[in-house]
A and B are shown apart, each in its own frame.
Chain A
Amino acid sequence: MKRIMIETEKCKGCKNCAIACMKAHMPDGVPFSLTDTRLEARNVILLDKDKQYRPLFCRHCDNPSCIKSCMSGAMTKDSATGHVYYDPKQCAGCFMCVMSCPFGVLKPDRATKTTVIKCDFCKDHGSEPSCVKQCINQAIHVEEV
């Protein structure tokens, strides 16, 4: 499967990845805005205790805790791509996936708090992650693993 590989030492915390992600996941009819809560990045860059940038991107884990906690069948691993996809229509908004991701990647959506914000590997953009394309420091790249 393809995974977004992270080279933390190259990350300068510019958040281009977050903007790219927001732009790639704009609901129909919602123009881009940094303040519209309906637009959210699936990724985030955290700071560790030594003030190092720690990019947090969904790993589409080999053994995903989010799927293993999903009671609605909304979270599934695609057998062809290996990616973990989320179906907001099937989701009942219980947020057990949010609790179960040991890395704290997942979150409820800010605007309605009924669905989950989850990386879909830009499957609607040819499965070429927008964050990777926009990373000016090449801190992230896609690799077959």
Chain B
Amino acid sequence: MKHVIIGAGAAGITAAKTIRERHINDEIVIISTDEAVYSRCMLHHYISGQRSLQALSFVTDDFFKDNNIKWLSNVTVAHIDTKGRQVVLECGGYESYDRLLIATGAQSAFPDIKGLSGTLGVFGLRDLPDARAIAEKAVKAEHVVILGAGLVGMDAAYGLLALGKKPVVVEMAKNILSVNLDSMAAAAYQEQFEQAGASFKLEAKICEVLSDARGAISSVELSDGEQLPCDLLIIATSIRPNVKWLESSGISLERGVVVDKYLTTSAEGVYAAGDVTGISGTWPDAMSQGETAAMNMCGCAVAYSDFIPPMKCTMSFFGIPTLSVGRFIASDGDEVTLRMSKDRYEKVVMRDDIPVGVILQGDISRSGYWQYLIKNQVSTAGIQKPIWKVSFADAYSIESNGEYKWVL
């Protein structure tokens, strides 16, 4: 059996590892446009100079050799011939397959802003070339503007602050990190970012990008008319699955590659996993989909169960860790419990005795059970304890092999 995997990110690498664990003799080929295996979650550490390219890798140096995987790096796939079961490469060659995994991830999506298209000095932050370009440009840049105060935007700001830059972050929402945090938790980070030299334009949009005679960005104009000087603009507003190259393949596409519960696409023998499916945009979900797809590619039917995952994230800026899972904004009928001290902010949103959302900021020690409670909609009605005291201890069970199991 020959497995071809397109993409060397979280989903692709996890799939390859999973196939190898199950089938020692199967042929595995990974094709990636990327020249290296790297974790995109760490690209801001590359921009700040805290990590080298090698230190961005999330696999061992000998990963491909040890696992007997052929890796075609720096190689782009032109299209897939699903009838002939082969992948045609841009450089002219091809790879035949028995099983194919599409794990090409997502790319930055730029909003439609007057003057943005084609202007020099404008970058997304998604891939290594983006990080390289930003790092190079940042050396001389004096006026950095970041559009979007989500996790990618704030990571970019964090990396650039470490270089001594003073980025201005423009965000449409009322608070930074609005997808991940409520205004209270967001304010704690905003204060730290401001103290470090960043500034924020909230409830604001860039309506025009202005450039100089060479076509390089010179300023941005906000919706209220304010002009910000700018020689480096980072766009961190949204992403879209990398599917454009698949339009001629006949494989069913919507926003991402359409998959069934076994992560199979509409083409026989072709699977998809990770951001390219558009199911979720987190690293753990991409790994989990890569693993599930690989099991199915190996002939072991495993259904993926997490098609509507709750929002979940952790972050840590300026030594303040935060965990946020589920729906943290209460609606009518919810019960909200808050706990606050100098260094901590904690909030739980409950609906009919079931935790539906949590934010823990300042101390996230041993808090992993929250994701379990929320994801599995576990009722805490039978536990006569304040919600803060509820933990895995209240559902504690040990299996014969010594592993823990939730029993409630």
Closest chain A CB from B367 CB (angstroms): 6
Closest chain A CB from B157 CB (angstroms): 16
State the majority secondary structure of interface residues on B.
mixed
For B369, give its contact among A48, A92, A103, A113 (CB under 8 Å).
A103
Asked if B41 and A71 sit within 8 Å, CB to CB, the answer is: yes
Bound form: Cα–Cα A61–B291 in Å: 16
Of B214-222, B347-355, B398-406, the one touching chain A:
B398-406
Q: Which residue of B lies closest to A2 (CB)?
A: B402
Asked if A72 and B316 sit within 8 Å, CB to CB, the answer is: no
For B41, give its contact among A4, A54, A62, A92 (CB under 8 Å).
A92
Asked if A69 and B323 sit within 8 Å, CB to CB, the answer is: no
- Which of under 10, 10 to 19, 20 to 34, or 35 or more describes the interface residues of A? 35 or more
**Interface check A83, CB cutoff 8 A:** no
**Interface check B75, CB cutoff 8 A:** no
Q: Which residue of B lies closest to A62 (CB)?
A: B403
A 84-104 binary contact with B (CB < 8 Å = 1; else 0): 000000101111101111111
Bound form: Cα–Cα A62–B399 in Å: 12
**Interface check B10, CB cutoff 8 A:** yes
**Interface check B314, CB cutoff 8 A:** yes
Asked if A102 and B39 sit within 8 Å, CB to CB, the answer is: no
For A108, give its contact among B321, B370, B402 (CB under 8 Å).
B321
Asked if B398 and A94 sit within 8 Å, CB to CB, the answer is: no
For A8, give its contact among B313, B396, B401 (CB under 8 Å).
B396
Interface residues of A in 78-133 (CB under 8 A from B): 90, 92-96, 98-108, 110, 112-114
Asked if A96 and B314 sit within 8 Å, CB to CB, the answer is: yes
Asked if A99 and B325 sit within 8 Å, CB to CB, the answer is: yes
What is the interface of chain A, defined by CB distance below 8 A to chain B? 3-6, 8, 44, 46-49, 54, 56, 59, 61-62, 65, 68-73, 90, 92-96, 98-108, 110, 112-114, 143, 145
20 CB-based A-B contacts, threshold 8 Å: A6-B402, A48-B396, A65-B368, A68-B284, A72-B39, A73-B39, A94-B41, A96-B283, A96-B314, A98-B321, A98-B323, A98-B364, A99-B314, A100-B371, A101-B368, A102-B371, A103-B404, A104-B392, A108-B316, A112-B319
